[in-house]
Structure 1
């Protein structure tokens, strides 16, 4: 039920009642604007897109928390999402009602995240981090649209900072040797193992003796060691299903593991690599790794992942295919492998030239073309 009436002050009052009998009204200077608003509401009801104006009064924080607890996230992903919302989204949008958040405000928020402020002691976030954070907030807003809390997602159309993806520059073998020499004795073999298998940090920290087959010279990757709040560790699933894999072990790695286990017997739960016999947490390892990385001359922020890049570069240098590199690293697709390492594969320009020359250079070429400029049948070849 809808109606339009002119008030004593000259304004036009448009009103309607929803299915629950609640009345909603707005006032306009012109009758045509009032009628347009009623038409939009009627169309929304007919098409099933009607949103109760009061539904969007819930705060972003309250709705986001309901959304977060309903997601089927792995524990590590759930903790990451919670931290990103708490640190970077709630300070800006936490107490705002969903319906009041505008696309222009989302754009301003992205710009704020991408700039530094010394007075506020705020550092600009990396473009990749901003992209992930924006995708989380956008997912929350999309859910709110589906739940009929808001009409549209204010995150749509946001311009994000361009990702400055620098090409991977692998470590040199000399640098790998330096890192191994500067590491504490109980972690020296960890460097050789990681550089010789390309396993991820959590996969290496979670390596147990029963996952190593010394006879077949291979290691099975089917879990990783996760660091929980309060530096608590526990085994968890691999990063993706594609990360489940078996990696062949070079003899140098087998020898390093054997010598390591003699000097440093397996720790808690059969863990091969430990610090003082206890599982390795990311924080504890970071305190050891960073001074070593500085001493070797690595760029600030270079982590243990550099050893994984080194392994990939070795496989590429010795002619392994994209598919093999993908399987060894546990990438979800060959596209991911190429996006990261395509610049490391040998340039094919010379092979292209040689292929064409090997065919065309052997063909006989007539010394003179016909006078009328046409090609004779015997030259079609």
Structure 2
């Protein structure tokens, strides 16, 4: 209940407006010359507490840097790679702009100015939207902590992202590219295109994950690569016991691929718990770095292949999903095989191959002109 606390001074009696914040702590809403004015001020603050719109004006004086590093980041229970990404976004984009500003001084116009500046500097619309999501999360937590009355990211005008049609690697193009990959890494690429595994899942494969009798892979580990600067253990390669979305999955693979893998395991003496693919090619080698593979192996092979468009290693995963759907596999099966959490993600790969429209038209004509 709001109340007024009186105090006698030389020039008369003053009244301090008192109320309790959401945690029950006594707060002052100011000092007034009359008890009536003090009660009104205290009741206004009490009404804000009851309606959930109250915030701590003093807490809002904390800088963006201190709030993010001392409150927001420590509260995040996320993957090591995601945390490393957040740290990178902060260092590159947010701390230089917002770092020394007090939280209560960051207005919607401040956020809008950051977006305008980021766009002018050449940051892509999709990147700006991605970073804005993180920034929105920071201020959302600040509102919940009653550091701010409202989220300055609400209503931000963001640049429009124009969706580009993805060009998918065809089977013929894949064969051209595979022929240029050095022998030591060819099995890795063959495995990737047949399974559609994410890079971290691929390099975490071990013989114990393979059931040669049932012809299956069990995806139950992933290896996350982060900079040592942002690694909680100081290690660049961190093994996580479950892949993305924290669900293991079982994939069916072909006998020809299994035969090649079995021969490779026997030739190199790979133990049951050793990594199947390593940086040195030796059974006891370290995990393969994505960046090292891309610069030293993938890009040179891509140039030698003569393909007229850029193909990323991750595009093998896209090709896998597209080929499955083009070949008649149902969406639910492809979704489970890819490890997608939502079927809408899988639907993006429908009709992505160059001849998809021709096949659709042929199917239409087969029905229309059926005699």
Structure 2 length as normaliser, TM-score? 0.78
Partner of 1:287: 295
Partner of 2:244: 239
Partner of 2:143: 145
Residue deviations 1:217-261, cap 9 Å, x none? 11111111111323621311211135x211111123223313333
Cα distance in 2 for partners of 1:100, 1:165 equals 35
Residue deviations 1:113-140, cap 9 Å, x none? 2233xxxxxxx33333222211111111
Answering whether residue 332 of structure 2 is matched by residue 323 of structure 1, we say yes
- Specify every segment of 5 or more residues in structure 2 that has no aligned partner in the other structure, as ranges: 5-15, 21-25, 33-39, 229-234
Answering whether residue 111 of structure 2 is matched by residue 106 of structure 1, we say yes
Answering whether residue 82 of structure 2 is matched by residue 73 of structure 1, we say no
Q: In structure 1, which of residues 335, 339, 349 is the aligned counterpart of residue 348 of structure 2? A: 339
Stretches (4+) displaced over 4 A = 15-19, 23-26, 36-43, 342-358
Computing the radius of gyration from Cα coordinates, the structure with the larger value is 1
Partner of 1:10: none
Answering whether residue 155 of structure 2 is matched by residue 157 of structure 1, we say yes
Cα distance in 1 for partners of 2:308, 2:237 equals 28
Cα distance in 2 for partners of 1:128, 1:267 equals 43
Secondary structure of the equivalent of 1:51? coil
Structural RMSD (CA): 3.0
Residue deviations 1:91-147, cap 9 Å, x none? 11111111000111111212222233xxxxxxx333332222111111110111111
The 3 A distance-change label for structure 1 pair 317 and 341 is closer
Structure 1 length as normaliser, TM-score? 0.76
Partner of 1:51: 55
Give how far 1:293 is off: 2.7
The 3 A distance-change label for structure 1 pair 155 and 316 is same
Q: Is the 8 A contact 1:199 1:329 kept in 2?
A: yes
Partner of 1:183: 181
Give how far 1:46 is off: 4.8
Give how far 1:64 is off: 1.1
Residue deviations 1:252-295, cap 9 Å, x none? 32233133334444379411111213211222222222232333
Partner of 1:115: 120
